[in-house]
Amino acid sequence: MIHNYSLGVEHEFHKGWFASIAYAGNAARDLSGSLNINQPPADPPYNFNPQINSGTIFPYVYAPYQGYAAINTFVNAREANYNALEATLRHTLGNLFLSAAYTYQHALSEIRGNALFNGVSSIQDAYHPGNDYGSSTFNATQTFSVSAVWNIPLFASAQGPKRALLGGWKYADVTTVYSGFNMDPQLAIPFQGLATRPDTTGQSVSGPKTVAEWFNTAAFVAPPAGYFGNAGTGIIKGPGLINFDMALFKDFRVTERHRIQFRADLFNVFNHTNFRNVNTTFGAGDFGQVTSAADPRIAELSMHYAF
């Protein structure tokens, strides 16, 4: 069940300018997710029997349903929320089409991943699934985009070959800027027991944002035996993106129904380095390191025949 709500104000200005500002949000309830109903229960003061961390005992000897390992079932009990401030500006008059949009947003969810309805949800503590509620992994706090098409008016009134070769060119731009997505800290160490996330040390998670150390790795430590990691979900901010794609193109009409289009496309025209994946698994050799990047500048020249 999803409730959607929004409130906006729009206004059209002189000479084809249109602006709007709006609040938008939704609340999703009864989302599907998996739950291990045979998870070994708490053993006070521990979250689970610390003997499980030894690696010499089958964890499910402490489980409520003896003789079975994990018993995963689907439950429709997860929830998610989204709230955003949205601003747009458009111009649609004359030789210029321009559309710009800015969004300041926050998405929170118990489901970890990029899909809300895939029925998969890795919960650290099946008895307290609400502890996994945090910033969604598809949440980018700020996004900004601009798209523009300019019918270049130069040589529009020329005649003959000059008009055919130099008139009628169009310029297009797509600019995309967004802050990084939230990421979950993970855990992969020997004898980690039932914990799937590390503990926090109290230091700031924000780091130098370098390839070797994107976030502050000293902010995390292995949890003690018998305890779940207390690091929250979505507390690591991944790399953002700054990208400019541009194109210059023109249609050369052969007959009334046949035309040839020449295009020059530049993707990531300023060759800005956009980092992508970061290893957030405590215990991995490359913990905290950037592991990949988006494409560098790509140039394409092409011709299209339409009939």
Give tens-digit pLDDT for 259-275. Answer: 999 999 999 999 999 99
* Percent of residues, the chain, with pLDDT higher than 90: 78
DSSP β-ladder status, 142-151 and 170-178:
antiparallel
> In the structure, what pLDDT confidence band is assigned to residue 11 with cuts at 50, 70 and 90?
very high
Using the predicted structure, report yes or no on whether residue 121 has a pLDDT greater than 70: no
How confident is the model at residue 120, as a pLDDT? 55
Range name among 14-18, 38-42, 163-167, 265-269 with the lowest pLDDT average: 163-167
pTM for the structure as a whole: 0.86
- Alpha carbon distance 44, 226 (integer Å): 10
